[in-house]
Amino acid sequence: MQSRSDGHNPWTEWSQQALQQWSQAVQTAMRGAHQALAGAPLGVIPPGWGDVAGMLEMFRRLSGQSVQLDPRAWVEIQQDYLREAGELWRQGLQVQPPRGDRRFAADAWARNPVAAFSAALYLLNARTLMRMADAVQADAKTRARVRFAVQQWIDASAPSNFFALNAEAQQKALDTQGESIAKGVQNLLHDLAQGFVSMTDYSAFELGRNIATTEGQVVFENALFQLIEYKPLTAKVHERPFLVVPPCINKYYILDLQPDNSFLRYAVEQGHRTFVISWRNPDKSLAQSTWDDYIEDAVIRAIDVVREIGKTDTINTLGFCIGGTMLGTALAVLAARGQRKVESVTFLTTLLDFSDTGVLDVFIDEAFVRYRELQFANGGLLPGRELATTFSFLRPNDLVWNYVVGNYLKGETPPPFDLLYWNSDSTNLPGRFYAWYLRHTYLQNQLCQPGELTVCGARIDLKAIDIPAYVYGSREDHIVPIGGAYASTQHLGGPVRFVMGASGHIAGVINPAAKGKRSFWTGPDGYLPAAVQDWIGAATEHPGSWWTDWAPWLATHGGRWVPAPRNYGNRRYKPIEPAPGRYVRVSAEEALSTLTATGPKV
């Protein structure tokens, strides 16, 4: 293991501190268990965390408000803790780590009595802390904040995250004669230099070569986006073109990873003349851009260009995540103007009604939104890495600590994975756009309130969107909860078909039809009760991908079949460059590097 030139070794210091902290925790817990066995009263506080007042003070700091614990729940938590701690003490070094937790599933944990005990103790402490968080007496948002913060602390403090306590990492160091430690330090230094934890082998992918490979051409571009048109794969196509609006907080190619899991290629294979917006990664030239700019000069502009290229009055559209929110806003603006330019709309894991935003709600309150508004009052950019980190910590064990352990403690190189390559390819956001979005959607939920918002000079009403809509939600989505996705059905003015897919925000959407994996649910025709649980209770499960349900639905809105075009664009909108284009290749860090010392601060 290499040290710095001054002789200081941060890796050793980290391990020593971790060992000291956890040794103290183990000793304290064992003393507490011994006292319980010796007849200590039930009022003894669970060891290692101080008294109730201390815990309440910690919860107050986490939530920003004073809280109390349910007295009856607190007594039950104490009793259960002392009983389980006593049992743990009786087992002593014979305890086995619970195999249901993959962090401690390796045989090395079972072969190391101290490691096995630390894992069992950790899980006992974690369960107790979460029960205490659940026993907080406060409003729902405060309780959610306490629970979220406690879970973050629990996940970060797992013994598996520290080399001094990770039996599997130690065994690998022995097996490799220290090579895994040296490689782990190299990985750590590499990730410190690049500014984020590596989740995959990024050198294995190249845009346009083995990812985002569906053939097409950029046929239009402005300061905000490029418009890609894909080459038809059928002799005839539907007369109405199909425009996809992806989220601007990510790169569009989540919808075009590999040929066998590309949603965009699937749409082309169904005979649709398909277009997609490829967002520019904002740099200082977009530091003043607003929500209205993105609606007028991007979404509505793209609709008009596609209509002109397709020589049709109306087109079919799809929006994914915040891309769906933006598309819904644009359609409401067009409706307010009395303009019918879209034949149908598909919303994938989209929030139009922000009354159910899941775990993201813990971040949003007046103080936070006001802070962001002040931060970006004079423009500026929100770094994409900040957004990416936030989303990763919504699932920290899967998207943070798993890679900390693998990359640094075990010296492993993560394997190539297209989805994680995309996940790490972040995008910046204009600060004013971001602040507006926070206030008017997440905080005040005005988008679904008729006449409450003025966008692009028009007072908007989602009920005025009177075209057929296909609304999709993922059952296990932690970013757009199924209830939030379903809520759109209550606000749109045209006929709505709601479909629920298995899995989460990404895996639920990117579920190729040909693979026949997972399942989806449909409800009785026209049955859209106010509560999603009522809809789920009446729904029917179908094996395979929801794509097979969506394709025939979209086909009914595609119009007649016409010969596939031989050329991209038209006389006015000529091919500019092959897909995936220039914009998608710019990283968030490269875009931020254009900010000068006199430019907006991020």
> What's the pLDDT tens digit per position in 318-377?
999 999 999 999 999 999 999 999 999 999 999 999 999 988 888 899 999 999 999 999
**What is the residue type of 348?**
L
Q: Provide the total of helices (H) and of strands (E) in the chain, helices listed first.
A: 22, 19
pTM of the complete model: 0.87
Q: b vs e for 430-444, b when ≥16 Cβ sit within 10 Å of the residue's Cβ?
A: bbbbbbbbbbbbbbe
Predicted confidence (pLDDT) per residue in 440-495, tens digit: 999 999 999 999 999 999 999 999 999 999 999 999 999 999 999 999 999 999 99
- The span from the CA of 120 to the CA of 114, in Å, is 10
Q: Give CA torsion, residues 499, 503, 504, 508, to 10 deg.
A: -60
% of the chain beyond a pLDDT of 70: 88
Helix spans in 92-178 (H):
107-111, 113-134, 140-156, 167-175
**Which of the following is catalytic: 248, 321, 448, 456?**
321
Is pLDDT at 600 greater than 80 in this prediction? no
> Is residue 448 annotated as part of the catalytic site, yes or no?
no
Residue 196 has pLDDT above 60, yes or no: yes
Give dist(CA 228, CA 499) in Å, integer: 28
Q: Model confidence over 94-131: pLDDT tens digits?
A: 888 777 899 999 999 999 988 998 899 899 989 988 99
> What pLDDT digit, counting tens, does each position of 146-191 carry?
888 888 888 988 999 999 999 999 999 999 999 999 999 999 999 9
- Bridge-based pairing of strands 342-348 and 469-474 is parallel
Q: Encode pLDDT of 295-320 as tens digits.
A: 999 999 999 999 999 999 999 999 99
Residue 230 parent element (H or E): strand 225-230
Beta strands, E only, 321-422:
342-348, 381-382
Mean pLDDT over each residue of the chain, to the nearest integer: 88
pLDDT value of position 63 = 60
Across the range 413-441, mean pLDDT stands at: 95
Give the three-class secondary structure for 529: coil
Q: Where are the domains of the chain?
A: 12-193, 216-396+412-515+548-592
pLDDT at residue 387 in the model: 86
Three-class secondary structure of residue 372 per DSSP = helix
pLDDT value at position 21? 43
Place of tokens 């230094």: 189
CB 280 within 8 A of CB 309: no
Helix (H, G, I), strand (E, B) or coil at 470: strand
Dihedral in degrees, nearest 10, Cα atoms 549, 486, 133, 61: 120
pLDDT value at residue 20: 44
Q: Are residues 270 and 264 in contact, defined by beta-carbon separation less than 8 angstroms?
A: no
Contact 237, 311 (CB under 8 A): no
- Section 233-244 average pLDDT: 98
Distance between CA atoms of residues 339 and 148, nearest Å: 44
Which pLDDT band holds residue 251 (cuts at 50, 70, 90)? very high
Q: Tokens 């103007």 map to which residue? A: 337
The answer to whether 93 and 26 have CB atoms below 8 angstroms apart is: no
**For residue 27, pLDDT beyond 60:** no
Can you tell me whether residue 69 is helix, strand or coil?
strand
Confidence class for position 59, pLDDT limits 50, 70, 90: low
End-to-end CA distance of the chain: 36
pLDDT at 26: 36
Across 270-283, average pLDDT = 98
Output 192 or 470, whichever has higher pLDDT.
Answer: 470
pLDDT tens digits, 66-102: 677 788 888 898 889 889 888 888 887 788 877 789 9
What pLDDT band is residue 55 in, cutting at 50, 70 and 90?
low
Mean pLDDT lowest among 115-124, 253-262, 491-500, 524-533: 115-124
To 10 degrees, the CA torsion angle through 530, 533, 538, 539?
110
Interacting residues of 111 by C-beta distance below 8 A, sequence separation 6+: 167, 171
Structure tokens at 200: 């995959």
Distance CA 171, CA 176 (A): 9
CA angle (446 as vertex; 139, 358 as ends), nearest 5: 45
CATH number of 216-396+412-515+548-592: 3.40.50.1820
- Taking each helix axis as running N to C, give the angle between helix 52-63 and helix 140-156, from 0 to 180 degrees, rounded to the nearest 10: 110
